[in-house]
Structure 1
Amino acid sequence: MKDKILDTAANKIQMHGLKKFTIDEIAKDLKISKKTIYKYFNSKDAIVEEFFKTVVESDKKNMENSLSHQNDFISKIHSIIYSNHKYKIPINLINEAKIYYPKEWGKIQELKQYKLGAIKKLLEEGVSSGVIRQDINLPILIKMLEQTADTFLDYNFLMDNKMKFSEAIQEVLKIILYGISIK
C-alpha cells in the first residue's frame, strides 16, 4: 500500500507541484481514507521526502547498472547523464524544492555531485587510456560541467530558450565532445 500511495502522490506531484497536491486527492484516487495514508506517511512532507529519496536512489542504481553494461566512453557519459529514476521530476519541481523543501533539494544536489564524481572518474580513466587528450585540464572541465548543470536546473533559462533539460545537456555534450571549430 505504501508504494501505491507514493506512486499516486508522484503523479499528483508531477501534475500539481510539491505544494499543491493534497492528501485528499491521493485518498480519493486510491479509494482509501486519509487515515490509511497516515499509517504509512505521517505528513505530506513525509511523502515529499520519500518521493525525493526514491528518485535519488533509483537514479543512482540505474546509473550504476547502465555503466556496468557500457564499454565505450561516449555511452558511459550518456549513462551517467541520462540515467533514469522511478519518478520523473519536471524542472519546475526542482526550483520548487529549492524554495520550499531545502532538505530534498539538497538530495538533488547530492545526486548531482555523485554524478559529477562519476564523470570525473570516467574522464580520468579516459585520459589514462588515451580516449581523451592529455592536455585537457580536468578540474576546469569538471567545473564547467558543474556550472552547466546548475544553469540547466534553472527553469527560467530553459523556458526562455524553449529547451528541455535533455536537449540542453545534449548540446553541451556536443560542444564538449566535438568542439566549436570547423576542422
Structure 2
Amino acid sequence: MKERILDVAAEKINSYGLKKFTVDEIAAELKISKKTIYKYFKSKDDMILQYFEAIISSDKESVEKTLRSNSEFLEKIHQIVYSNHKYKLPIKLLNEAKLFYPEEWNEIEKLKKYKLNVIKKLLEEAALEGKINSEVNLSVLSKMLEKISDTFVDYDFLIGNKLKTTEAIDEAFKIILYGILNK
C-alpha cells in the first residue's frame, strides 16, 4: 500500500508541483482514508522526502548498473547522464525543491556530484586507454561538465531557449565531443 500511495503522490507532484498537491487527492484516487495514508507517512512533507529518496536511490542504482555493464565509455557516460530513476523529475520541480525543500535539494546536489565524479573516473580510464585526445586537460573538462550540468536544471534558460533538458544535454555533448569548428 505504501508503494501505491507514493506512486500516486508522484503523479500528483509531477502534475501540480510539490506544494500544490494534496493528501485528499491521493486518498480520493486510491479510495482510501487519509488516516490510512498517515499510517505510512507522517506528513505530506514526509511523502515528499520519500519521493526524493526513491528518485535518488533508483538513480544511483541505475548508475551502478551502468558501471557494471560492458558498454563502451561514451555509452556509459550517456547512460549515466540519462540514468533512469523511479519517478520522472520535471525540471520545474527542481526550482521548487531548491526554494522550499533545502534538505532534499542538497541530496539532489550530492547525487549530481556523485554522477560527475563517476564520469570523471570514466574519462580518466578512457584517457589511460588512449580513447581520449591526450592533449585534453581532464581537470578542465571535468569543471566544464560540472558547470554545464547546472544549465540542465536552469528552468529559465531552458524555457528562454525553447529547449528540453535532453536537447540541452545532447547539444552540450555534441560541442564537447565534436567541437565548434567546421571540419
TM range (shorter): over 0.9
Shift of residue 67, structure 1, vs aligned partner: 3.1
Task: Indicate if the aligned counterparts of 2:62 and 2:80 stay in contact, CA closer than 8 A.
Answer: no
SS in 1 for 2:112: helix
TM-score, structure 2 normalization = 0.97
Aligned to 1:167: 167
Following superposition, which runs of at least 4 residues in structure 1 exceed 6 angstroms of deviation? Answer: none
Aligned to 1:128: 128
Q: Calculate the TM-score normalised by the size of structure 1.
A: 0.97
The residue correspondences of 1:136-155 to structure 2 (distance < 5 A) are 136-155=136-155
2: CA distance, partners of 1:175 / 1:134: 18
1:178 and 2:178 are equivalent in the alignment: yes
Matching of residues 11-160 of structure 1 within 5 Å: 11-160=11-160
Note the alpha carbon deviations across 1:59-101, whole angstroms, 9 max, x for none: 1101221332242121111111011101001000000000000
Could you list the per-position Cα deviations for residues 94-145 of structure 1 after superposition, in whole angstroms to 9, with x for gaps in the alignment? 0000000011111110110011011000010011000011121111111111
Unpaired segments ≥5 residues, structure 2: none
The code of the aligned residue for 1:121 comes to: K
Q: Which ranges of structure 1 fall in alignment gaps of 5 or more residues?
A: none
Identity %: 58
Amino acid at match of 2:32: I
Q: How many residues align?
A: 183
